[in-house]
Amino acid sequence: MGRHATARTRRRILLPLLALALAAVLGAATWVAVVMARSEPECEPARVVVAASPDIAPAVTQAARDLGLACVTFDVQARESFQMAEELSGTAPKPQVWIPSSTLFLRRADGVPVSGPSIASSPVVLAVAEPVAQGLGWPRKPLTWPEVLGGAEVVAGMPDPVRDPVGVSALLALRDVAKGASDPAAAYVALLRKFSAATSGATVFPASENAVLRHNSELSGDETALVAAYSPAAPALDYPFVEIAGGNQQQGKAVAELKRALLHGAATGTRSDLRAPGGQALRLTETDQRVSAQGQRSAEIPDSAEVDKTLRQWAGVNMSARVQVLIDVSGSMSAPVPGTGKSRLRITLEAAENALHLFKPTSQIRFLAFATKMDGDRDYREILPMAPVGQQLAAVDRLRAVRAVPDGQTGLYDSVLDIYRLAYKEWEPGKLNLVVVMTDGRDTDPHGISRENLVAELGKLRERDRPVPLVAIGIGPEADETELGQLVAPTGGQAFLSRDPAKIKEVFYGALGRIAGAG
């Protein structure tokens, strides 16, 4: 019995101890489980990458931060829009959202929407150095584009419109400036010629309004403040918000929240130098007086075809040229032009001289005169050899000294064929290779090539990858429009008429502008 009692006693003692131990173990396990549950996140964090134009990226970052979304990390990356458009067309990882400075960039990238809702805007202005602006009457009166560009002291620069939509907007606005001229194409070319293909050292250049504000707020040393001149014909930067496919459901919800906040003005508050999408009054609390805080209307961004045409115009006008200029000196060119006191030839020579200013300094030009038997059996002779524009301007006295041949006939066909062959022989890549012929009548050389044979020969010479357009300018009432049209057709060129010889200058300017892609 003593042994049984001892065993029972031992059990009575051990069981409570085991129970306490088990309870302790279970309690510890329970506490550990609670701690682990509390230390685990409630959801899997989502990362949303937003590529934004550098000028709007800070505002987008602040808008994303203000949302305070749980389990969402917004990675807002300041990315140049031109570079981003190229990357999106490749195989690089893509962001969930892209906010370029302009809808124009959406059209350049593959695999993204071609449009998106605008979350902000900034007018494209002419940024004018403050001393120049003061010389034009500012701040007594606001600056206008025609007034600024008409200033004699202006040094104008242009940002590359291929890379910067500010340049495209400016080119469109310049066309609007020129539309009231008697010959808009000529006036447009003359305007474009005012702009160098850079902004360094310029006293006037296109810029976004917010760039002007930033420049003025960060002035240092001897830097000059800028004054903004506005034009409703210049499309504004519109900062479209586009979603790019590939995000998961959680990222999609976060993107929707960010989009909603930005469309409700999160990027255009009182601390922002950007306007609302419609160009409403600038809300910046301490607006620089060199810009206008009032609402600004801006033109719509044109379609892709119009933008492409605008870029071709700029490229054509800014391309160095290699030009052969054939000038008719037959007897009829000595005819007086009523109301001018000058002959057809004199006005034509003046137009050719003035047109030298249309070409870049790196262009090269040769001047030739044609009639019949000007140089032995040849119907033409050289007036000025092929040389850069600067040398030709220094030698214009030789051009001015040219006289009409009293009994000279019009050896048009042979002269055109020979000089066209010469242009092909001397063809230079990367330049606008042209042959320009100026004449007041049809071919009258009985011993020369026929029109049919000339057209056939010109067609044989033409090479698609070595273009040499023939530009024919008819002067006066006797110029044969049909004949000139047939001559230029096989070369891809154009014919122009100036029935009033007194207006040959405008026609010449317009012709060169259009053949360079400026019309």
Residues in the chain: 519
Shared domain for 366 and 438, answered yes or no, is yes
CB 496 within 8 A of CB 474: yes
Tell me the C-alpha distance between 384 and 367, whole Å: 5
Shared domain for 512 and 372, answered yes or no, is yes
CB 481 within 8 A of CB 496: no
Last-in-domain residue among 207, 237, 267: 237
Residue 379 lies in a domain: yes
Residue 312 lies in a domain: no
Mean of pLDDT values over 365-386: 96
Residue 396 lies in a domain: yes
3 state SS of 342: strand
Shared domain for 327 and 423, answered yes or no, is yes
Tell me the C-alpha distance between 298 and 447, whole Å: 61
Query: What is the pTM for the complete model shown?
Result: 0.71
Low-confidence winner among 3-12, 83-92, 105-114, 409-418 (lowest mean pLDDT): 3-12
Whether pLDDT at 377 is above 80 = yes
Predicted local distance difference test score (pLDDT) of residue 28: 38
Shared domain for 214 and 263, answered yes or no, is no
Residue 191 lies in a domain: yes
Residue 290 lies in a domain: no
Q: Give me the amino acid identity at 169.
A: S
Last-in-domain residue among 204, 237, 270: 237
Shared domain for 386 and 512, answered yes or no, is yes
Residue 9 lies in a domain: no
Tell me the C-alpha distance between 328 and 175, whole Å: 33
Residue 270 lies in a domain: yes
Mean of pLDDT values over 277-285: 93
Whether pLDDT at 20 is above 50 = no
CATH of the domain at 335: 3.40.50.410
Mean of pLDDT values over 510-517: 63
Q: What domain range includes position 510?
A: 320-516
Q: Give me the amino acid identity at 333.
A: M
Residue 7 lies in a domain: no
Shared domain for 261 and 229, answered yes or no, is no
3 state SS of 253: helix
CA-to-CA separations, 46 to 60, 70, 249, 259, in angstroms, rounded:
18, 9, 10, 16
Shared domain for 104 and 250, answered yes or no, is yes
How many structural domains is the chain composed of? 3
Shared domain for 140 and 261, answered yes or no, is no
Mean of the per-residue pLDDT values for the chain? 87
Mean of pLDDT values over 341-354: 91
Whether pLDDT at 127 is above 90 = yes
Shared domain for 95 and 137, answered yes or no, is no
pLDDT tens, residue by residue, 388-422: 999 999 999 999 999 999 989 999 999 999 999 99
Question: How many Cβ atoms sit within 10 Å of the Cβ of residue 54?
Answer: 12
Tokens of 269: 């508050």
Shared domain for 84 and 173, answered yes or no, is no
Shared domain for 108 and 247, answered yes or no, is yes
Predicted local distance difference test score (pLDDT) of residue 11: 42
Shared domain for 50 and 184, answered yes or no, is no
Whether pLDDT at 10 is above 70 = no
